[in-house]
Structure 1
Amino acid sequence: MARYLSQLERALGRGLRIMQSSGGSITASLAADQPVRTILSGPAGGVVGAFYTGMQAGYPDIITLDMGGTSTDVSLCPGRIKETTSATLGGYPVSVPMIEIHTVGAGGGSIARVDSGGALVVGPQSAGAEPGPACYGRGDRITVTDANLTLGRLRADGFLGGRMTLDRERAEALMIDVAAGIGASVTDAALGIIRVVNSNMERAIRSISLERGYDPREFTLVPFGGAGPMHACELAGELGIPRVLVPSHPGILSALGVAIADVVKDYSRTVMLRGGDLDKIRLEEEFHGMEQQARAELMDEALPVDSMTARRFIDVRYVGQSFELTVDCPSLSGRGDLRRSISREFYAAHLQRFGYADRALPIEVVNLRLKLELPVDKPQLEPSPFAGADAAHAAIGATEVVFADGPMVTTLYDRGGLETGNQIAGPALLLQLDTTIVVPPGWQGYVDAFGNLLLETAEPH
């Protein structure tokens, strides 16, 4: 990686910055020295882009759904982007700051099969881009994309804005083997594949919401990636999420997030302090030392030191535990009781995360963390004027699409032709270069002033 980044920087010139897993950018030299910081840089860019989109649209509490060809990444943002320092990737612990992202092997290329017990299984194996889904004309394994095509949710002549034709007959022919394995029709087998992959993603969202004390019904689902908008409404319906916010360009939202990421520098020191050892002067000295180190590095990078904002955190745990929770560091000035303030922060975080907090058990501070952020200029999009509710001018036809209740005549829209205020009612398919948006029956929505599509369900939750 060091060799690659060195070559890239020579080609592009100085100033190259690399996305890191915590949602901010770092210098190419730091990324080369500490490549572990970039492990989830791509998915992190997606969360940053989705959170920016949600904030711009007036929905700061979001759940992100990044569904691509191989996997789906989900993250919960309760008015902020959540981070962790205790992640596990590929079975290995990774103790660097990163956005809390949960990944599941569910994507458009996830392979469907019937196991030895006769059950339908989808993923985590993927057909990838090569050979890809059967409908690409090269592979012979049925995937989620083939199921969507069989159900009419993908247009054979509308993929990639019409630049690529999908082979629906090939997908349906190969679907016969899956259907025979579960004793169902081709259509029911395709519906089953969609239900299974949706169930896999639903469990992932539950793991980052309900299992951590958050009610998904209080959030807005933001789908992106090439496949996210195809599954978002059905997923939201199963989880009771009341609305779905589809960005104007879901397929490149991760790139947007990388482009607008702030400059971020993280520092940490291990202190291992228990109750009686917690001392404001000691902690202030440690933080001051990190801040001095940061200031020197920022000056070397020719960054405006005075424009940076500093945030202090501490890693706390019960004595004897092997994992910590990161909480805000209480003020180190004034006469407040430091031990009591830290305990209060930790107990609240433990209650939120695990549903209980034992105030009788001793706690200890393991690490001190300093985060410096330099905001970068972000695109300030001018809201488009209201153009009316009628979306008929963007309708390009109709087709039969199979939903849970059977086949339905479904309106096709060119999303690029929709304007601010235009209203859409399901069933509908919205076609664009980087994705297809599936609007099931019972869902309706409108285009907001920034080109996002806000969808809501008429079903009570």
Structure 2
Amino acid sequence: MTNQQTSDWISIGVDTGGTFTDFVLSIGNRIYTHKLLSTPSNPAEAVLQGLEEVVSQIETMGSASLVAKAHLTVTHGSTVATNTLLERNGAEVALLTTKNFEDLLQIGRQNRAELYNFNLVQPVPLVDESKRYGIKERICHTGEVQVPLDPTELDQLINQLPSIEAIAVCFLFSYINPKHERMVAEALVKRAVNRSIPISTSHQILPEYREFERFSTTVANAYVQPKVQKYLHFLHTNLATRLNRSLASKPRLRIMQSNGGSISVETASRVPIRTALSGPAGGVIGAYEIGKTAKYEQLITFDMGGTSTDVSLCDREISLTTESQIGGIPIQIPMIDIHTVGAGGGSVAQVDLGGALRVGPESAGADPGPACYGVGDLPTVTDANLFLGRIDPRYFLGGKMSLQPERSTKVIHQLSTEVGKSPLETAEGILRVANATMARAIRVVSIERGYDPREFALISFGGAGGLHACELAQSLSIPTVIIPPHGGLLSAMGMLLADVVKDYSQTVLWQANEHLYVQLTNQFRRLRQKAETELGNEGFEPELTQYQLTLDLRYSGQSYELNVPFDEQFETYFHQAHAKRFGHSRTDYPVEVVNLRLRAIGYVEKPKFASTSEKIGATSDISAQPFEQKEVVFGEPRLTNLYHRQDLSVGVVIASPSIIFELSATTVVPPDFKAKVDQFDNLILSQSESF
């Protein structure tokens, strides 16, 4: 791997996971990696400790003079916003809205997540009923002011506000005319007792129609804002304090977004909801770039960590969505389309009330962790893999972390007594149940959306991904599995590869007509001017920017849209997309434009993946020699070859069954599979006879 950056720049990607925090550092033409346990009570502590350690690592390896004159950029995927929503420990928020719409968040939509569950409990709104305030005002759907906002009533309301930590302002049709929201925001800044209270207005957070989703997203932004601001301030301040001694200038911190791009600390502090689910987004970015480099254009990304598994489908491009939920709260910002299930290395195995074996979604996380970590006393997927011999305690985290196999043996035996099976059958049952959960997730993003998984390659990463990838591929008839180098750190690697991305949108609700293309072009021009200004303020020259224009379209009378590229053929694209997704289209039916979307990209210098095929012929097939053999259970004990990944050169072929160890992950090559190292140091695994 080489880097086009000059040697006076250091780039570090940092991904905070539920169990581990991962670091990938790029300087000059070199890559350094690091991994340590997360600190759930204060994630910043693991981030700062790891940054100090990885910088010290390169200093002690003879690059101290290089570090001393270097400028540092850290791109960080934070879990603070996501965890705040999931754990419901955010700010006390006041909602100011159009009078008689105070309960909109409570009412929500009539959709039922579980159609036949008569005892379904709806998520509790993030704003308590006593802190929702209606203001007499009304703007029509045309943008005309029907009922003016009364400044006197507004002043009285502001004076009555209780002790709160954040404010959300959401009026009807503010996406067309934000006049009243701006008036309220200005009045709050001028007259509020505590002027440091953050204010989120819906026309800035999400200027789109569908008031429930717009209100929900804006309130969620306000709910997480104080906590995220505090976290980023602590991290940014301490980053400068603890690393300045080693560097030529103050470190620069950028924050990963859920749309696959990065933003400044200032922007993340203002719109923190855009940072939710940013860690999984980094993994998809890294996987897509690696797959594209290795000439695989159709990919299913499979990220299995300690707490959960994230899957996404990339059909020659990264899939985006604006329809997501976190903890039952609708979040309608653009984000990479990722489906998450509660199956990871730390997923707890237990017997349910019906006597069946269940794995997840509960996780042991980093604290207490799997039983083999030495503290926890519940069996997990990691314990099952260790018990079966697929994890070797001597080489876990490159031998840097000690495991206690006897604790795994104890909890597996205890669970086997409850299940009524032998310990080996129980351990394999844990893996089969976890694999079934993950296979269902892959079906959701592929088969259920009209894609055939047999046409895709499965690119696996995350600390636990390589242990399960081949068995998943086999169950779904996926022909090829790709395990990239540093697979357990790919989310952090993706953050090194992330460009600066800003998303803009505007609802128009226009019917198709002969002048529509010109109208849309003019509207996009206004969005682009705003985007050019903001990217220019971040220092991007025009030649380093790109603008992607798309439309949300639907047939007149439909409730939901499909997103297609914008040019003169946009209606044709829509009919084609509708036919692919739903199996039919109506070319004789009127089309409606709902939203304009503009994605502004500022390209940053990043590491490049260099081919080593010029050193070793790409066609050379060399049988790798294991450093050891031992028995591992694959249905029955099988003599299995053991390899260190750093010992595998380009072109070598690995027969099965085998286990391949590296610092950040372990890869299992089960019976009937073969593995080969390609010219980019990826492990390519397949059952194909012609492999």
User: TM above 0.5, one fold?
Assistant: yes
Counterpart check, 1:207 vs 2:444: yes
Alignment partner of 1:139: what SS?
Answer: coil
After TM superposition, the structure 1 = structure 2 runs for residues 317-336 of structure 1, keeping only pairs within 5 Å, are 317-331=554-568
Question: Is 2:529 aligned against 1:287?
Answer: no
* Deviations, residues 336-389 of structure 1 (Å, cap 9, x unaligned): xxxxx4432222222222333344554321110111212222323432222864
Question: How far is 1:265 from its partner?
Answer: 1.6
Q: Equivalent residue for 1:66?
A: 303
Task: Write the deviation string for residues 222-264 of structure 1: whole angstroms up to 9, x where unpaired.
Answer: 1111000000000000010111110011111111110111121
| 1:103-142 correspondence to structure 2 within 5 Å | 103-142=340-379
Percent identical pairs in the alignment equals 49
How far did residue 204 of structure 1 move? 0.3
In the other structure, the counterpart of 2:627 is 396
Partner of 2:681: 451
Q: Aligned partners of 1:330 and 1:77: how far apart in 2? A: 22
How many angstroms apart in 2 are the aligned matches of 1:390 and 1:306?
Answer: 45
Shift of 1:459: 7.0
1:24-173 pair list within 5 angstroms: 24-173=261-410
Take 2:467 and 2:297, find their aligned partners in 1: how far apart are those partners? Answer: 23
* 317-326 or 259-268, larger mean C-alpha shift: 317-326
Q: After superposition, give the CA deviation of every residue in 1:85-141 in whole Å (9 maximum; x if it has no partner).
A: 222222222111111100000000000111111111100000111111111121111
The CA deviation string for residues 246-294 of structure 1, in whole angstroms up to 9 with x for no partner, is 0011111111110111121211111011234862222111111111111
The answer to whether structure 1 residue 436 and structure 2 residue 672 are counterparts is no
- Structure 2: 5+ residue stretches without partners: 1-227, 241-249
The one of 526, 534, 537 aligned to 1:300: 537
- For 1:334, the equivalent position in structure 2 comes to none
SS at match of 1:271: strand
Q: TM-score when scaled to structure 1?
A: 0.93
Pair 1:269 & 2:506 matched: yes
Instruction: Tell me which moved more, 367-376 or 62-71.
Output: 367-376
CA contact (8 A) 1:86 1:323 kept: no
In structure 1, what is the Cα distance between the partners aligned to 2:339 and 2:315? Answer: 16
Residues 59-84 of structure 1 deviation map (CA, whole Å, 9 limit, x = unaligned): 12111110000000001111111111
1:422 to 2:658 alignment? no
Tell whether 2:582 aligns with 1:367.
no
Aligned partner of 1:20 in structure 2 is 257
Change (3 A) 1:352 1:92: farther
Higher relative contact order (CA 8 A, sep 6+): 1
Is 1:5 the equivalent of 2:232?
Answer: yes
TM-score, normalising length: structure 2: 0.63
CA distance in 1, matches of 2:583, 2:467: 34
| Residue identity in the other structure for 2:508 | V
Task: Supply the distance in 2 between the matched residues of 1:178 and 1:362 (Cα, whole angstroms).
Answer: 60
Once the 2 structures are TM-superposed, how far is the Cα of residue 149 of structure 1 from its aligned partner?
0.9
Report how many residues are paired: 449
Q: Distance in 2 between matches of 1:20 and 1:242?
A: 32
SS in 2 for 1:254: helix
Higher mean Cα deviation, 162-171 or 228-237? Answer: 162-171
- The answer to whether structure 1 residue 344 and structure 2 residue 572 are counterparts is yes
Distance 1:173 1:9, change over 3 A: closer
Structure 1 residue corresponding to 2:581, chosen from 353, 378, 381? 353
Question: In 1, are the aligned partners of 2:339 and 2:445 still within 8 Å (CA)?
Answer: yes
Instruction: Find the residue that maps to 2:596 and give its secondary structure.
Output: strand
Map Cα deviations across residues 291-314 of structure 1 (whole Å, 9 max, x no partner): 111122222222112431111101
- For residues 372-422 of structure 1, what are the alpha-carbon distances to aligned partners after superposition, in whole Å with 9 as ceiling and x for unaligned? 2122223234322228644545x2211111113x21100001111111111
